[in-house]
Amino acid sequence: MTQSLPKLPSPPSLPQLSWLPEPDTVQSPFTGWTRNHWEATADHWLEHIREYSSPLKASPRLPGPVTRDGERREGMETIGRSLLMAAPRIAGARGQDRLGLAAWYREALLAGTDPDGPESWPLGVTCKSPLLGVTNSIVEAANIAFSLHIAREWLWEPLAAGEKKQVADWLRHHARLEVWGNNWQLFPAMAEGFLRSVGEDVSGCIGARNVARVESWYLGDGWYTDGPEHSIDYYNAWAIHPYLWAWYSMTGRQDTPEGRRHLERLREFVGTQSLMFASDGAVLHVGRSLAYRTAVLAALWCAEISGVNPMTPGATRRLASGVLANFTAKGVGVDGPPNLGWYDEHLGSCQAYSGFGSPYLAGIGFLGLALPPEHRVWQDVDEPQPTDGPAAVRVLPDIGWTISADGGLVRLTNHGSDHSGLPVGGGTDPDDPHYAKFSYSTHTAPGTGTAWEDNVDGHLALLGSDGVASRRCSLRATRTEGLASGSVHVPQQYGKSLPGTAVTTVSVVDGIHELRCHLVQGPAEYSVREGGHSVAGAQSVQAGLTGDTAWVSNGDVFASVTAVYGWAEPKTTRYTGANAMGEHSAVPALSAQRSTNETVHIALHTLTRGQAPVPEALKAAAAVVVSGTEVFVRWAGGAQQAFDLRTFVPWDGQVGK
């Protein structure tokens, strides 16, 4: 049934929380948030830790799930990660520690690192198969070392000689371990770096080698892959950049060529990452471990502390406060410890390694509190962040990403990151909904659970007679030229490449639109399906069909796909409990049968907030001419692009076998 497109009202205003100061719209006209709001939020979150404390403070038991490693590991993680928030709060107070945080965490550290104590933490083991124990202690050793570095005067120096030796022995054990070949390389290096900074024995440690490995994964524009495989995500912001920054500082190498090179990379990273935050503080929802939330701000604070931040102090606070205010307004950490999810709890978007203390890694995003209250970042009047102004587009060719901000949200076109490793959700195909989609945004999230099994949203699927969707899996090649970007993948199903198949996809962005063009090679018996963004809400999401357009709306966000070439049937699909943005979600999609072994399919993907485009505007958004595999696009605003789907992305041409 054909319906008219919906009118989108403004989202309702949210009530003021009683434990927060009143908004200060003079100093902070964009958010109303000042340093006082940050301190109040940190204190509120840290109070949750005390509320659920164990007798010796080292093993709090927060509400939430426990991983297979057990509660002792989760308690350790809770202390290690909440200390990331407590340390800058302590350091920025300059001895005015009215909550007694420093003494409290010193007690927790001593209880946890006491090898014979009733609340002793498990010692980590070298990461190799088969694993013979807990490895996560290595992560928390890094978090504790980082925190000790930030608040050394109040956390480390007051310890007695024997107490320092006990903590140092625990750190040194982890500094000598071999770890996974990704951002984990920096965890032993972090423990070693702190030990070196306080004159402790670091024999047998290999931090410099590990740092060199991570530096070798540099791509460009400030971004690294998270290991040799091509997975690009927020581990850049909350692990790679902050830990490299701290390591060069702790080892006295910040003024070496390598240290100065990293600061320049940090500066470039902040310049590009600053475009990934919408004007309302929403964060671009992509990659794994998203329950860490405000940890996305850590690299920004590192750049500000080091004096290499490309943003002004006022714009920095406006961006950071917008993010924290947005999560707080959505209830994160308000009535209890931050849960596993994005806004509300949503275990479907979390990883098996995440337990009840995991979300406290968000604390590293409070690093700015280490700066004193008189610092300009806390005193200057708010200034606009990059996405507050007119539409902005940033192309990152070395990464395969195009970031576009328009209409109050930010969209990421993804032709670079795949994270093709272990399968998600017990399947056989090694892809992940938070990496494998063609597009992500600040106001939508990929489908999980049943929606991920169906694999409709953000995907071009080949469908066999059993109706099971193919997977994108690893990318074979990528290319970016101007506002056009593309990639090639061999569709996979049941752990194997589909015989004789390959898909080349080219995306061209313009404002709120993306034209997504596919060259599908494979037996004609495979039909095809193209999905748009999954839009979610607390209540049922509107969905409908208007001519050749399938659309969905939650009253704030509108997403649609419009058939341009090679598509026959628009449709929508609904889910419950399958999206981190809300309980109810819906996806617009197109489908078509194929009559030859090589077919071209083009769809207009529209994503916006505010007033939904009228049907005529969608039809007139782009004029497209197709000749064989050659595509010519002229946008309504006059921009144009021409390319050949067969040759745009150079690759070896090997189809699935």
The model's pLDDT over 120-161, given as tens digits with 9 standing for 90+, comes to 999 999 988 777 788 989 999 999 999 999 999 999 999 999
pLDDT at 307: 97
Structural domain includes residue 656: no
Assigned domain for 5 exists: no
Tell me: the pLDDT tens digits for 602-624? Answer: 999 999 998 889 989 999 999 99
Look at 165-169, 324-328, 491-495, 626-630 and tell me which has the smallest mean pLDDT. 491-495
- The mean pLDDT of 218-233, rounded to a whole number, is 91
Report residue 440 as tokens: 């992500």
- Answer yes or no: is pLDDT of 426 > 60: no
Last-in-domain residue among 388, 408, 443:
388
525 and 619 both lie in a single domain: yes
The Cα 549–Cα 561 span in angstroms is 6
3-state secondary structure of 624: strand
Q: Are residues 240 and 148 in the same domain?
A: yes
Say if strands 502-510 and 527-531 run parallel, antiparallel, or are unpaired: unpaired
Q: Is the model's pLDDT at 95 over the cut of 90?
A: no
98 found inside a domain: yes
So what's the pLDDT on residue 40?
97
Query: Are 225 and 340 contained in the same domain?
Result: yes
Q: Give the 3-state secondary structure of residue 544.
A: strand
- Whole-number pLDDT of residue 44: 97
**Does position 101 have pLDDT exceeding 90, yes or no?**
yes
Taking only the tens place, the pLDDT of each residue in 268-305 is 999 999 999 999 999 999 999 999 999 999 999 999 99
Q: What percent of the chain shows pLDDT beyond 70? A: 96
Residue 4 predicted with pLDDT over 60: no
What pLDDT score does 419 carry?
Answer: 75
Give me the chain's average pLDDT, please: 93
| Distances in whole angstroms, Cα of residue 409 to Cα of each of 13, 444, 533, 548, 583 | 18, 10, 13, 25, 21
Looking at the predicted structure, is the pLDDT value of residue 8 above 70?
no
Q: How confident is the model at residue 424 (pLDDT cuts 50, 70, 90)?
A: low
Verify that 505 and 560 share a domain, yes or no: yes
Burial class (CB in 10 A: 0-12, 13-18, 19+), 619: middle
In sequence order, the 6+-apart residues with CB closer than 8 A to the CB of 474 are 230, 418, 420, 430, 431, 489
- Of 331, 354, 388, which residue constitutes the final position of a domain? 388
Q: Which of 388, 408, 423 is the last residue of a domain?
A: 388
Summarize pLDDT for 317-343 with one digit per residue, the tens.
999 999 999 999 999 999 999 999 999
Indicate whether 542 pLDDT > 80.
Answer: yes
Give the pLDDT of residue 133.
81
User: Does the structure show a pLDDT above 80 at 182?
Assistant: yes
Cis peptide before 423 (omega within 30 of 0): no
Residue 468 has pLDDT above 80, yes or no: yes
3-state secondary structure 299-318: HHHHHHHHCCCCCCHHHHHH
Same domain, 363 and 458: no
**What amino acid is encoded at 161 in this protein?**
A
Band of pLDDT at residue 225, cut at 50, 70 and 90: very high
User: Looking at residues 398-407, what average pLDDT do you find?
Assistant: 92
Shared domain for 422 and 552, answered yes or no, is yes
Confidence category of residue 644, pLDDT binned at 50, 70, 90:
very high
- Nearest CA to 53 out of 119, 9, 97 is that of 119
**The pLDDT of residue 13 is above 60:** no
Kindly state whether residues 371 and 410 are assigned to the same domain.
no
Residues 419 and 465 in one domain: yes
pLDDT of residue 134: 82
Q: What is the pLDDT of residue 391?
A: 83
203 within domain boundaries: yes
Q: How many Å apart are CA 579 and CA 581, to the nearest integer?
A: 5
Of 639, 252, 580, the C-alpha closest to 434 is 580
State the pLDDT at residue 2. 47
**Within a domain: 11:** no
Domain that holds residue 236: 35-388
Let me know: does 598 contact 656? Beta carbons within 8 Å: no
In a domain? residue 240:
yes
Asked whether the predicted pLDDT for residue 26 surpasses 70, the reply is: yes
Per-residue confidence band for 193, with pLDDT thresholds at 50, 70 and 90: very high
**How many domains does the chain divide into?**
2
Question: Look-up: residue for tokens 């060529």?
Answer: 257
**Residues 57 and 141 grouped into a single domain:** yes
Cα–Cα distance between 223 and 235 in angstroms, integer? 10
90: domain CATH number is 1.50.10.20
Whether pTM exceeds 0.85? yes
Q: Does the pLDDT value for residue 587 go beyond 90? A: yes
- In CATH, what number is assigned to the domain containing residue 629? 2.70.98.70
Q: Is residue 562 part of a domain?
A: yes
pLDDT at 428 over 70: no
List Cα–Cα distances, 308 to 106, 381, 568, in angstroms.
32, 20, 52
pLDDT given for residue 502 in this prediction: 95
**Do 465 and 361 share a structural domain?**
no
Opening angle at CA 656, ends 425 and 597, nearest 5: 115
- Above 90 in pLDDT, residue 15? no
Q: Does 453 share its domain with 306?
A: no
Report whether 72 contacts 350 (CB < 8 A): no
Provide mean pLDDT across the span 627-650.
96
* 366 occurs within a structural domain: yes
User: What tokens does 69 get?
Assistant: 């490693």
pLDDT band at 422, cuts 50/70/90?
low
User: What is the pLDDT at residue 9?
Assistant: 44
Angle between helix axes 161-175 and 137-150 (nearest 10 degrees) is 130
CA 383 to chain centre: 25
Residue 574 pLDDT exceeds 70: yes
Q: In this structure, are 314 and 416 located in the same domain?
A: no
Tokens of 406: 């328009």
The phi-psi region of residue 277 (left if phi > 0; otherwise alpha if psi is between -120 and 50; otherwise beta) is beta
pLDDT at position 632: 98
Residues 6+ apart with CB under 8 A from 585: 447, 451, 534, 535, 536, 537, 541, 574, 575, 576, 578, 579
